[in-house]
């Protein structure tokens, strides 16, 4: 008798495994263990409607990412994304260490690729970067003290600078550089700046001018610099925030030989280095998206939904029947997966994000929480799974078992899911991807496996 029961138990597990691996629209299998009071069904559901739209995030912090994003990238379906980078500068030393017989030679700004040698766009064409003098004090903004904290995203925790902020700068560039962005082998980019600008700093140091006796005074004199891409640029580049500006001079040493030196000015204050992001979607299906009209349904874009870091484009998802489903009695959810297929890949000019995450947004579309790793406080990040040449799309897979069990709690009422590039790439890159489509709809599927007790 015991062996018979063991056999039937193993048969039950086999049937369960077979059903879970099967994919269909609301399939059900009843399994009986020869007890009329223990009748239950194993059900797989993958037919829930998911309403999807492309959505514009607001209040995207872009300071202190460690990367100066500079450039412009244009894709026919989604338009252009342009990034300029602002930063403070400070004297590396506050002493007059320039030899008395030295004469000023030149001033140049040295830029280097960031550690990841990041790029987004076509790097086969020459790129141009212009250096401008900022004429307005770069300051942070604190939205956490607002009367309505309902509009503060979860990722904003204090004063910062946002990607849509601009500060005035001199329209005439201090210097311009056009170069070939061989980003994998590029060592540095040297931009020669205005001669009189460098001479002025040189003379101030030599004279112990009040503007160079402290970095606070120096930053009142030189409020910062901004790197602006050329209008014909085709790529956004990631540059290191450990840049330096050299005020170069030469002098005759005590040995009678000509020597060279430099007064070094470095980046000052990571909290004040930020990237200003602008987009132009004119002539695309997303042209109507802006800070006031923040959402466009996938039905208006032939099922296409675009996600992009930096600019703050995410996929907004609502599942109308999910709440009602979870109110059903006598069921136990065993497994929940959200599968998102993408039309992109993780190589080439426009790499797909390595990871995506899910934000939980309130009725105003403001992110108030994250979908977390089950039984953990860690933010869940779905890693890109590449497709193949046989027509299999790349995809991201999320485990939503915790989310679905909490979806009917009061704090989840009126919320939606926002699919975005994972942090910190959301704030420091421009990577994007188009969600794949099938029959004019986004290829996003929610698979739920549950046991129903009768």
pLDDT in tens, 246-256: 999 999 999 99
Q: What is the mean pLDDT of residues 142-159?
A: 83
Q: What's the angle, vertex CA 298, arms to CA 293 and CA 299, rounded to 5?
A: 105
Q: Tell me what pLDDT residue 42 has.
A: 63
Residue 344 pLDDT exceeds 80: no
Q: Tell me what pLDDT residue 359 has.
A: 97
Q: Tell me what pLDDT residue 41 has.
A: 58
> What torsion do the CA atoms of 333, 335, 336, 338 make, to the nearest 10 degrees?
-170
303: left (phi over 0), alpha (psi -120 to 50) or beta: left
pLDDT tier at 148 (50, 70, 90 boundaries)? low
Residue 425 pLDDT exceeds 80: yes
Q: Which residue has the higher pLDDT, 262 or 150?
A: 262
Burial 385-400 (b: 16+ CB within 10 A, else e): eebeeeeebbbbebbb
Q: Tell me what pLDDT residue 233 has.
A: 97
Q: Among 138-152, 180-194, 331-345, 350-364, name the one with the lowest average pLDDT.
A: 138-152
35 Cβ partners below 8 Å, 6+ apart?
Answer: none
Residue 239 pLDDT exceeds 80: yes
27 Cβ partners below 8 Å, 6+ apart?
Answer: 19, 43, 44
Q: Tell me what pLDDT residue 156 has.
A: 94
Residue 12 pLDDT exceeds 70: no
Instruction: Give the residue among 325, 243, 306, 261 at the shortest CA–CA distance from 70.
Output: 243
DSSP alpha helix (H) spans, 207-281: 215-221
Q: Tell me what pLDDT residue 340 has.
A: 97
User: Do 52 and 301 contact (CB within 8 A), yes or no?
Assistant: no
Residue 31 pLDDT exceeds 50: no
Q: What is the mean pLDDT of residues 274-287?
A: 96
Token digits of residue 452: 């129903």
Q: Tell me what pLDDT residue 6 has.
A: 43
**pLDDT tens figures, 83-118:** 999 999 999 999 999 999 999 999 999 999 999 999
Task: Determine the 3-state secondary structure of 16 from DSSP.
Answer: helix
pLDDT tier at 22 (50, 70, 90 boundaries)? very low
Token digits of residue 133: 């003098």
User: Quick one: CA dihedral 299, 54, 167, 179, positive or negative?
Assistant: negative
Q: Tell me what pLDDT residue 149 has.
A: 64
pTM score? 0.88
208 Cβ partners below 8 Å, 6+ apart?
Answer: 96
CA distance 139 to 453: 60
User: Do 370 and 384 contact (CB within 8 A), yes or no?
Assistant: no
CA distance 10 to 419: 40
Q: What is the mean pLDDT of residues 227-240?
A: 97
Q: Tell me what pLDDT residue 26 has.
A: 38
Q: Give whole-number Cα distances, 213 to 106, 196, 218, 223, in Å.
A: 22, 21, 8, 15
314 Cβ partners below 8 Å, 6+ apart?
Answer: 54, 55, 57, 307, 359, 418, 419, 420
End-to-end CA distance of the chain: 26
Q: Tell me what pLDDT residue 146 has.
A: 67
- Counting DSSP H helices and E strands in the chain, the numbers are 6, 28
**pLDDT tens figures, 346-373:** 777 998 999 999 999 999 999 999 999 9
Give Cα 120 to chain centroid, integer Å.
Answer: 12
β-strands 244-252, 367-370: how paired? unpaired
Q: What is the mean pLDDT of residues 388-415?
A: 89
Q: Which residue has the higher pLDDT, 11 or 77?
A: 77
User: Do 130 and 72 contact (CB within 8 A), yes or no?
Assistant: no
**pLDDT tens figures, 34-49:** 444 455 556 666 668 8
Half-sphere exposure of 93 (CA within 13 A, CB side): 10
What does the mean pLDDT of the chain come to?
88
pLDDT tier at 11 (50, 70, 90 boundaries)? very low
Residue that is written with structure tokens 């992109």 in the block? 344
pLDDT tier at 19 (50, 70, 90 boundaries)? very low
């Amino acid at each position: 008798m015991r062996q018979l029961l063991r056999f039937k138990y193993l048969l039950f597990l086999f049937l369960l495994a077979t059903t879970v691996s099967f994919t269909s629209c609301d399939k059900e299998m009843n399994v009986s263990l020869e007890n009329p009071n223990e009748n239950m069904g194993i059900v797989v559901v993958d037919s829930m409607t998911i309403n999807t739209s492309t959505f514009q995030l607001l209040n995207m912090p872009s300071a202190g990412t460690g990367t100066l994003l500079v450039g412009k990238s244009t894709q026919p379906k989604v338009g252009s994304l342009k990034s300029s980078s602002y930063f403070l500068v400070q004297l590396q030393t506050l002493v007059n260490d320039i030899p008395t017989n030295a004469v000023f030679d030149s001033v140049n700004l040295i830029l280097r690729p960031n550690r990841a040698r990041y790029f987004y766009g076509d790097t086969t064409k020459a790129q141009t970067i212009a250096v401008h003098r900022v004429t307005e004090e770069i300051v942070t903004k604190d939205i956490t003290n607002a009367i309505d904290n309902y509009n503060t995203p979860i990722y904003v925790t204090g004063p910062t600078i946002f990607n849509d902020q601009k500060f005035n700068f001199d329209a005439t560039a201090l210097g311009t550089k056009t170069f070939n962005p061989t980003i994998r082998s590029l060592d540095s980019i040297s931009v020669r700046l205005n001669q009189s600008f460098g001479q002025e700093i040189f003379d101030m140091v030599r004279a112990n001018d009040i503007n160079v006796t402290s970095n606070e005074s120096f930053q009142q004199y030189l409020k910062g610099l901004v790197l602006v891409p050329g209008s014909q640029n085709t790529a956004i580049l990631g540059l290191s925030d450990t840049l330096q500006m050299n005020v170069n001079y030469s002098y005759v040493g005590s040995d009678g030989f000509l020597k060279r030196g430099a007064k070094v000015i470095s980046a000052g204050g990571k909290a004040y280095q930020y990237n200003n992001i602008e987009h132009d979607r004119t002539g695309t299906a997303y042209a109507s998206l802006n800070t006031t009209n923040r959402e466009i349904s996938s039905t208006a874009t032939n099922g296409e939904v675009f996600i992009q870091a930096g600019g703050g484009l995410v996929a907004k998802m609502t599942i109308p029947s999910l709440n009602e489903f979870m109110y059903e009695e006598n069921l136990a959810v065993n497994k929940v997966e959200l599968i998102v297929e993408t039309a992109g890949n993780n190589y080439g000019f426009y790499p797909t994000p390595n990871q995506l995450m899910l934000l939980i947004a309130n009725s105003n579309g403001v992110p108030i929480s994250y979908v977390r790793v089950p039984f953990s406080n860690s933010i869940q990040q779905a890693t890109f799974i590449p497709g193949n040449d046989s027509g299999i799309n790349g995809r991201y897979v999320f485990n939503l078992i915790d989310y679905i069990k909490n979806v009917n709690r009061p704090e989840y009422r009126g919320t939606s899911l926002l699919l975005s590039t994972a942090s910190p790439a959301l704030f420091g890159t421009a990577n994007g991807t188009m969600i794949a489509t099938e029959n004019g709809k986004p290829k996003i599927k929610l698979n739920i496996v549950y046991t129903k007790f009768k």
